């Protein structure tokens, strides 16, 4: 069973990597908005987290607040975001989308949705329903898991054996 799951894991990982590249960074590049994938993610997160503090952005993007400052400088220069001071605590800086920032994000999301629909339309409705249900199940499993516990467990070790023949 462990050898079978290893092969399926490798196939899944390879397919996921290709999908992430084609539906993520490369797709953003093809949208011709002059935005990097990190900038698009930042715009998306600013929209989702309202109000969105610099510290929340840094935590979410797993970078130092100084890196967020540089990224926000760029978005501000495009007219896509602004920084404002929190009315209750002047030490807190909040990032907000501008109207043109929201429009740029909407364009990227529209292109992504259009491309996803094209890809999904290549799959039969029955396969697609089963695929989406399975993907949702895997998503829920990944949200609920504790990676540290899994890594430290002794269950069916999946350590590389050094033998890459399948």
Pick the CATH number of 16-122 from 3.40.1180.10, 1.10.10.10, 3.60.21.10, 1.10.3720.10: 1.10.10.10
Provide the pLDDT for residue 35: 86
- Using a 10 angstrom Cβ sphere, with 0-12 exposed, 13-18 middle and 19 or more buried, the burial of residue 1 is exposed
Provide the pLDDT for residue 166: 43
Q: Where are the domains of the chain?
A: 16-122
Provide the pLDDT for residue 159: 53
CB count in 10 Å sphere of residue 111: 16
Averages of pLDDT over each 10 residues, the chain, 166 residues: 88 93 80 82 92 90 89 94 90 93 92 92 97 96 92 64 48
């Amino acid at each position: 069973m462990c050898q079978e799951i290893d092969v399926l894991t490798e196939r899944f990982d390879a397919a996921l990597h290709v999908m992430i590249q084609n539906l993520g960074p490369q797709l953003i590049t093809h949208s011709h908005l002059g935005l990097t994938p990190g900038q698009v993610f930042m715009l998306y997160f600013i929209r989702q987290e309202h109000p969105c503090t610099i510290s929340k952005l840094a935590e979410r993007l797993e970078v130092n607040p100084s890196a967020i400052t540089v990224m926000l400088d760029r978005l501000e220069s495009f007219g896509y975001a602004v920084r404002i001071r929190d009315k209750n605590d002047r030490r807190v800086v909040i990032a907000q989308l501008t109207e043109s920032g929201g429009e740029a994000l909407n364009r990227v999301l529209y292109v992504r949705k259009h491309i996803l629909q094209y890809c999904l339309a290549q799959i039969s409705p029955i396969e697609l329903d089963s695929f989406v249900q399975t993907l949702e199940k895997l998503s829920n499993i990944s949200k609920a898991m504790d990676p540290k516990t899994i890594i430290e467990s002794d269950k069916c070790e999946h350590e590389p054996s050094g033998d890459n023949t399948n």
